[in-house]
Chains A and B, each alone.
Chain A
Amino acid sequence: MRNDLWRLFSWLGVAFGFPWLFLVLLPYVKQSSAAPVPYAESDEAGFVAYPDPNMVRAGASDYGAEIYRREGCAYCHTQMVRPTYAGPDMWRPGWGGREEEGLARETRPEDYIGEGYAQLGYQRIGPDLANVGTRLTDREKLHIQLYNPRANTHESIMPGFRHLYRLVPADGRDAALKLEGKFAPEEGFVVVPTPEAEALVDYLLSRRKDAKLPASIRPAVAEAAPAEAPAQ
């Protein structure tokens, strides 16, 4: 009777132990030790290694990443550009990075080194953000998107993150969001971002995977996106 239990336990353990070890633990351990990939002399990249911390962790973007997680952004936005065999992401203008310079590509494991948890996302209710930092470079526009998305895109169903902003008396200050028409705050007041909002914008601007890859991990044939993609 007692042996029965241990025999059953052992078989159950074996059945689960295989995928646990080979699918989960070993690939995890292997990836944990991944360090930024050094550039060779011949790469002429101007950086020491990819990804370069000055680029992907610029400003307060570490704190911004926390805000991104806390607000559940990943429930509606992915940060993952699929290769062409798995979906047409690369054809959507700007999603893969800067096409015109031939730097558009799918995301790779090295892009996320140092992030702890890659925000690959749960759904795509809104657009992919893997390269949002190359598409939307205007801080002001990003702030307006976060404060009232309808002011940028009429049909947007993104929630406005009002609690990341303050409504304050104007008093001649200028670090305010330029909201016009029906989106303008009441007379004599202006909307200013909190440090959280600034950090989140820093984080969004740092979402760009368009640096030239080191030759050691660069795919042999880079696939170019269609040349005449219409502007959005």
Chain B
Amino acid sequence: MSLDLNQATPEDIRERAAIDRSVRYPVLFFFTSAAAWLFVATLLGFLSGLKLRVPTLWEDCPWLGYSRLFPVHMLALVYGWAMQAGLGVMIWLMARLTRNELKNPVTVIVAGHLWNAGVAVAVITVWAGLGRSMPWLDFPVWVAPLLFIGYLMVTLWLIPMFRARRAGEVYVSEMYLIGAALWFPWIFATANLLVGDEGAATMSTGINAWYMSNLIYFWFAPVALASAYYLVPKIAGRPIHSYPLAQVGFWALAVLAGWTGFQRYVGGPFPAWIPAVSGAASIFIIVAVVAAGANFWFTLRGRQKLWEYSPTLRFTLFGVLMFLAYAVLSGVSSFFSLSQVLQFSHFVVGLDTLAVYGFFSMAAFGAIYYIVPRITGCEWPSPTLIRGHFWFSTYGIGTVVLTMLVGGFAQAGQMNQWDQAFVRSVEVANGWIVGRIVAWLLIAAANLGFFYQLALMFIGRGRRSAGPTLIHAEPGSVGSAEEAVALAGAGGHH
């Protein structure tokens, strides 16, 4: 078992410190540049919402139209922030789980620059009018190799680490990481080779939708769950509740995720079995998410109060909860009775945002709050800013998702009144779009604080302390003696 929860010996502590030192620069590079992209993405989210509500603003400038701002916002959010933060989490987690130092930090940093260059070129080309109206794949096809090679240069190092691990069973987090490392190049290459200007027309569009769903279930989900399966037992101070259940969840995801995606085009110009199979898979996959959620819940039983103090646990659990919400909503909305209302409404934006921000980003924040103090050797400067980050993010993402989900119902209800003018559905949606604009402002505020704290940590200006930064300053009111012990163990540098 790689996840050793026994009292750490001095050798263990020295070894972990050496591992953390070896990954320090690449991981910090990924986290800080991801946070910068996140800030850009939130501003673009705000601007695109604003343009949707007030279309006459800056009408002469083609760069500031909704139909360019929105795809650019999604590209910055998915590739600039989410995937980049995920890469940082992957490296640190694999090094810790396999107890290996990273031998080639320089290659990984070079790869990080390549990835950032790829994201920047993708964003600028789409913004400048070379986009292709293909969600999450808008960039010109020659940008894809930059991202592809950058990705491989990072994740290939996970394989020798995995092979050089200590003897013993493979922990489920390692399986998720290996899965994510393998699946992303596969789906990314498939999507970029098949989806393009030539070839099968409607299958290309369907594969685009399949790619989005697979990126969520085959990359965001494995990375976030790998991190949660590592962090939740660490913070709870006890091993994961059921290892077989974790395995079941893993294999359910592995077997089902590849079938999802086409349900976005239920009733579309495809052989009818294709969206039907995708819809069924997106319903069954709820099992995989429930298995993980239940496992975390039972692991924390009697110690749930830890969530009030540990920023890591709070963000991670919120992310897992949102993953459950995403899986249920995307599964249920592929039933005909709901898809005929919600398909193509603002609900779609709500769902995509829920996956990328509500689920993955929150889980990644949880991991970052745990990792950064260990690799920099100082603690987060301000519990207030952490608290603000959590609540502004929660209210922000809650507002985006709720307004787009409920507003989507209202909009589509009008759209489906076929005997009245289409523009009624536009008018009904207008008010809900205001919610989306406000929400991205809240999220931008949250992440300004996050970026500021991360920058302080980066330059070594964090808090010097033996104890971790907890959300509430005095942990004296922790429920039980057992929780207090767990908390002290969870926070320390080991």
Interface residues of A (CB under 8 A from B): 1-2, 4-5, 8-9, 11-13, 15-16, 18-20, 23-25, 27-32, 34, 68-76, 78, 80, 82-83, 85-88, 91-93, 106-109, 111-127, 149-150, 153, 155-163, 229-230, 232
Contact = CB atoms under 8 A, between A and B. Distances in A.
B346 A123 contact: yes
Instruction: Name, among B61, B349, B422, the residue most crowded by chain A CB atoms within 10 Å (CB to CB).
Output: B422
B267 A13 contact: no
Contacts of A2: 163
B421 interface: yes
Given A27-B274, A118-B205, A111 B52 contact: no
B132 interface: yes
Contact of B55 (A13, A118, A159): A159
A83 B272 CA distance: 11
A117 B132 contact: yes
B343 A72 contact: no
Given A23-B262, A23-B277, A80-B265, A117 B419 contact: no
Contacts of B135: 75, 122
A140 to B, nearest CB: 20
8 contacts: A71-B67, A111-B269, A117-B197, A117-B201, A120-B268, A122-B135, A162-B59, A163-B62
B423 A5 contact: no
A24 B268 contact: no
A95 B84 CA distance: 42
Given A15-B258, A88-B416, A124-B345, A80 B268 contact: yes
Nearest to A110: B269
A28 B207 contact: yes
Contacts of B56: 150, 160
Given A23-B259, A24-B190, A117-B196, A72 B67 contact: yes
Given A27-B271, A28-B203, A155 B423 contact: yes
B173 interface: no
B124 interface: no
A189 B73 CA distance: 36
Contacts of B266: 82, 86
A70 B267 contact: no
B204 A123 contact: no
Contact of B254 (A12, A124, A157): A12
Contact of B52 (A15, A69, A83, A125): A125
Interface stretch (B30-38, B109-117, B177-185, B323-331): B177-185
Contact of B67 (A27, A75, A88): A75
B204 A116 contact: yes
A117 B208 CA distance: 10
A155 B430 CA distance: 10
A163 B60 contact: yes
B200 interface: yes
B53 to A, nearest CB: 7
A86 B52 contact: no
Given A18-B258, A72-B70, A117-B195, A112 B419 contact: no
Contact of A1 (B167, B345, B349, B416): B167
B201 A82 contact: no
Nearest to A29: B200
Given A27-B270, A156-B55, 10 more contacts: A24-B207, A27-B274, A34-B200, A72-B133, A75-B135, A85-B336, A88-B416, A108-B269, A117-B205, A120-B205
